[in-house]
Amino acid sequence: MIPKEVYEETLLTFLSPIRPFLDDPKVSEVMINGPNQIFIEKGGKLILTDARFASLEALNSALRNIAQFVGKMVDEEHPILEARLPDGSRIEAIIPPAAPDGPDVAIRRFFKETLTVQRLIDFGSLTPEAAQVLECLVSLKQNVVVAGGTGSGKTSMLNALSSFIPNGERIVIIEDSREVQLQRQHVVQLEARPGDAKGRGKTTIRDLFRATRIDPGGLAEFIRVPAENVELDVHVLPDGMSDTTGT
C-alpha cells in the first residue's frame, strides 16, 4: 500500500501546472477550462494565467488521480466529480460528454485560518446580538439550517457555530464530500460514497444519517448536503433528532 504522504505528493505532481496557485494563500479559486486555459481568483478578481497542462491526457490523468485519492470514479459514465485535495480544497470537475469542451474544473481553496464567531463580528458580518441568538440555539440543541449560494461561506459558518458546542458532546459530521474541519476533540467524520460500475459499495447521506440514529444521546450532528439532496434536511428535522446543524 502506498504511504499517504507519498500518494499526496504524487497527486500534487499531476497538478504541477497549477501548483504555484495552490501554494499562494491569496488565490481563492483556480478554474481550469480545458488544458490550455486556466483562470484564478485573486483579491476578488478573475485573472487569466499563462499556465497550461501539457495535454488533454495530462489533465485527464490528474483528474483520475484525484478521483482515486477520494475513492471515486470519473469517466464517460461518471462525468461529474466532486472531490477534495489533501489540504481540504474542494474540487468540482465535469468531463466530456457532459462538458463537450472540457474538462472543466473548479478548485475552491481551503484556508487553514479558522473563521471564528468573534472574527465574523469584527468583520461586521454578524452582530453581537445575532451571535448570542445562535449560541442559544446551539446550546439548547435546536435544529439549525445554514443556507446560501456557492462560495457564500456556509461551511465556514458551520465551523464557527461548532465553537458553541460543549466539549463533552460527540459530534458526527455527514458530508457528500469531506470539507468541514471542526476543532473539537470528539468528532466522527462520515462521507457518502458512490457505487462502482455495478452499483456496489454505494453509501448515501441518508444511509449515514440513519446509522447515526443508533445512539443519538449526547450527539451533535452536522450534515452538509448538495442542493439536489435538500429534501434530506426536511426529513431530518422532524425525525426526532435534535441538535442537527446542516447546510
User: In tens digits, what is the pLDDT along the chain, a chain of 247 residues?
Assistant: 456 677 778 888 899 999 999 999 899 999 999 999 999 999 889 999 999 999 999 999 999 999 888 888 899 988 999 888 888 788 999 999 999 988 999 998 876 667 788 888 998 888 999 999 999 988 888 888 888 777 677 877 888 888 888 777 888 888 777 777 776 778 888 887 777 667 777 887 778 877 776 454 445 555 555 544 444 444 444 454 555 555 5
Q: Own/partner pairs for 121-127, CB < 8 Å, 24+ apart? A: none
pLDDT for res 204: 79
Q: What is the CA radius of gyration of the chain?
A: 19
Buried b / exposed e along 67-84 (16+ C-beta atoms within 10 A): bebbebebeeebbebbbb
pLDDT for res 62: 94
pLDDT for res 97: 92
pLDDT for res 171: 82
pLDDT for res 82: 87
pLDDT for res 244: 53
- Cell numbers for 123, please give them: 468583520
pLDDT for res 243: 53
pLDDT for res 113: 66
Containing H/E element for 29?
strand 27-33
pLDDT for res 216: 47
Q: Own/partner pairs for 193-200, CB < 8 Å, 24+ apart? A: 193/71, 193/72, 194/72, 194/73, 194/78, 196/73, 197/73, 197/77
> Are 30 and 106 spatial neighbours (Cβ–Cβ below 8 Å)?
yes
